[in-house]
A and B are shown apart, each in its own frame.
Chain A
Amino acid sequence: MLSKSQARTFFLGGTVVTFAIFLALSWNSLVNDVPRQTNPENLSESVIRGKEMWESNNCMGCHTIFGEGAYYAPELTKVYERRGEGYIKAALMSKVPWAPRGRKMVAYGFTDEQANDMVEFFKWIGEVDLNGFPPKPDVKR
């Protein structure tokens, strides 16, 4: 029967080994995957300002990006491809709540420059290689 000290060895050993593997895999992702899949060379100042606005307005509190966030408003990973620049800017610059089908968004009333930064951010987001996410619909309606 398992003794207490064997159980402790299992705990400590398992933790150290899996954590070491986790660190090695993380390192590999940072050094190899991120440069290959996320186009860091395209992270312009405009994209970075867009990301700051994305965070300082808690867009993730309603939307998802890379599938992460809240489930009240649309997934925005491919929004640039789906809606184009004009629609995105209209939603962001509107002085009254943008409300497709009645569900309201906060009226941010961004300036043209701010809205452009957000568009640049979405453009960069849309080009990240996400291993096939979001999936393409494959059932005929």
Chain B
Amino acid sequence: MKYKSQKVAYWFFAAAMLLLVLQIVYGFIMGFAHMGYDGLHSVIPFNTARAVHTNLLVVWILLGFMGAAYYIIPEEAQNELVSVKLAYIQLITFLLVGVAAVTGYHLNYWEGRKFLEIPRPLDWLVVINVLTFLGIILATLYKGKKTTTTALVLTMGLVFAALLYLPGMIWFDNQTLDSFFRWWVVHLWVEGVWELIMGGILAFLLIKLTGVDREVIEKWLYVIVGLTFLSGILGTGHHYYYIGVGKIWLIVGGIFSMLEPLAFLAMALFAVAMYRKGEKKHPNKLALAWTLGTAILAFTGAGLLGMAHTLPQVNMYTHGTLVTAMHGHLAFWGAYGMIVFSFITFALPNLTGRKLYDTANGQLAFWLSNIGMLGMTLAFGVAGVAQVYLERKTGLEFGAVQQEIEVHFLVLVLCASMFATGILMFIYEFYRHGSPNDEAIGMEEILESA
């Protein structure tokens, strides 16, 4: 680390890890409920567990993005963050809003719209919080000595993400319109602006880890985010096939969804090519593994598995089944979970001055979590395909089908245990780094060359 204020990133990452653990706990509650063990039903019914699981996902990933931004922007702009105190306040209030929302979900207080369950009054607090965050980032960039493409793409992603939260706050009497604009938030986030954020972070990591010239990396960054928007914006159409709007979306959504994997393919090829081209041998091998891993698994989970069920004729049958959960898990993990993990793995030694670059624990955490998640994806896939066939093709009743596929949730829970073990080991490594300190300032080059 080069600037004192970058230390604030550490606490965003620590909070993110804490929320991830909670997210996994609620995931297990749902996995067991699907197997028929719903002993917690009276305290934590499925809809509560589900809302907590998905909301914590969004919140910990956003915390990861914010932490990454607080680390990257000072270094790119060559300037301290304008206010560290405000950044800490922003973190604490963000967490408080999160705690209030999650508590509300246990008391049947929410706005039950998938992914956007946060009740309206809390929505406004989120808006204020995110504006504070953006204010700090933009002011730092403005006062900085330089504005790089990487910083610009990252900031653009963050600003658009904030703007796109707004259409989700409009009330509609008509369920079709409600759904239509809910996707402006959810889809344009995960298949649009979040990819910008991911691209920005990935570019920063590749510049640092491979030593390839910034101009080359940033040129390809433009191509990647160009492909993202070119395919992703009209790709929103795949959410409009069956919600009560016209058939034109079947064509538009179908074609552009087919193109969506291109951005992720470009990202994967880009990361691998830069790695091979790079002459710098950065000692942080774990960060490199996570960085290449995220580029490849994002293509697999978000790109390929997404495309596999967004063709209209396939989606007619898979829409609203466990096949969606299959794609969802690997997509969020591969693209967004792993990019946050990549960044944490890269940043921790620089923040704390402890060079745990290539430990056995760290390696094991990487492999266990990734193989565990691939296993979970497979379990969801088998359950989903069986569900589609039995329920949608043969017309067997929903409950009967669920009993038929219960066994796949045993496999799911087993693989999830493996995944969770990997995550806990990662957090143990996180803890072993100790806290961030000023002695680590300027030690990055010394550490790297040692």
Please pick, from B41, B234, B324, B402, the residue contacting A104 in the complex, using a CB distance under 8 A.
B41
A66 within 8 A of B: yes
Q: Give the contacts of B396-410 with A (CB-CB under 8 A).
A: 396, 398-400, 402-403
Is B174 touching A56 in the complex (CB atoms < 8 A)? Answer: no
A90 within 8 A of B: no
B108 within 8 A of A: yes
Q: How many residues of B contact A (CB 8 A)?
A: 76
B51 within 8 A of A: yes
- CB-CB under 8 A for A133 and B241, given A37-B176, A43-B173, A65-B175: yes
Q: Give the contacts of B214-250 with A (CB-CB under 8 A).
A: 215, 218-220, 222-223, 225-227, 229-230, 233-234, 236-237, 240-250
B45 within 8 A of A: yes
Q: Mark A85-116, 1 if CB is under 8 A from B, else 0.
A: 00000000000010011111010000000000
Is B174 touching A40 in the complex (CB atoms < 8 A)? Answer: yes
- CB-CB under 8 A for A139 and B245, given A19-B233, A22-B236, A125-B175: no
Is A29 touching B246 in the complex (CB atoms < 8 A)? Answer: yes
A38 CA to B172 CA, complexed, in Å = 13
CB distance from B401 to the nearest CB of A (A): 10
Is B395 touching A141 in the complex (CB atoms < 8 A)? Answer: yes
Q: Give the contacts of A53-69 with B (CB-CB under 8 A).
A: 54-62, 64-69
Please pick, from B41, B174, B399, the residue contacting A43 in the complex, using a CB distance under 8 A.
B174
- CB-CB under 8 A for A104 and B222, given A61-B47, A137-B392: no
Identity of the chain A residue whose Cβ is nearest the Cβ of B112 in the assembled complex: A58
How many contacts A-B (CB < 8 Å)?
207
Identity of the chain A residue whose Cβ is nearest the Cβ of B33 in the assembled complex: A72
- CB-CB under 8 A for A128 and B225, given A64-B320, A103-B402: no
Identity of the chain B residue whose Cβ is nearest the Cβ of A21 in the assembled complex: B234
CB distance from B34 to the nearest CB of A (A): 7
Size bracket of the A interface: 35 or more
Q: Mark A118-132, 1 if CB is under 8 A from B, else 0.
A: 000000010011111
Q: Mark B304-318, 1 if CB is under 8 A from A, else 0.
A: 000000000000110
Q: Mark B35-79, 1 if CB is under 8 A from A, else 0.
A: 010100100011110110000000000000000000000000000
Chain A residues within an 8 Å CB radius of B240: 29
Chain A residues within an 8 Å CB radius of B174: 34, 38, 40, 43
Chain B residues within an 8 Å CB radius of A138: 393
Instruction: Give me the interface of A with B, judged by CB distance under 8 Å.
Output: 2-4, 7-8, 10-11, 14-15, 18-19, 21-22, 25-26, 28-30, 32-34, 37-38, 40, 43, 47-48, 51, 54-62, 64-75, 97, 100-104, 106, 125, 128-135, 137-141
4 A-B pairs closest in CB distance: A61-B47, A58-B112, A137-B395, A67-B320
12 pairs, A vs B, C-beta closer than 8 Å: A15-B230, A22-B234, A26-B180, A51-B175, A56-B110, A58-B112, A130-B243, A131-B247, A131-B250, A132-B242, A133-B319, A137-B392
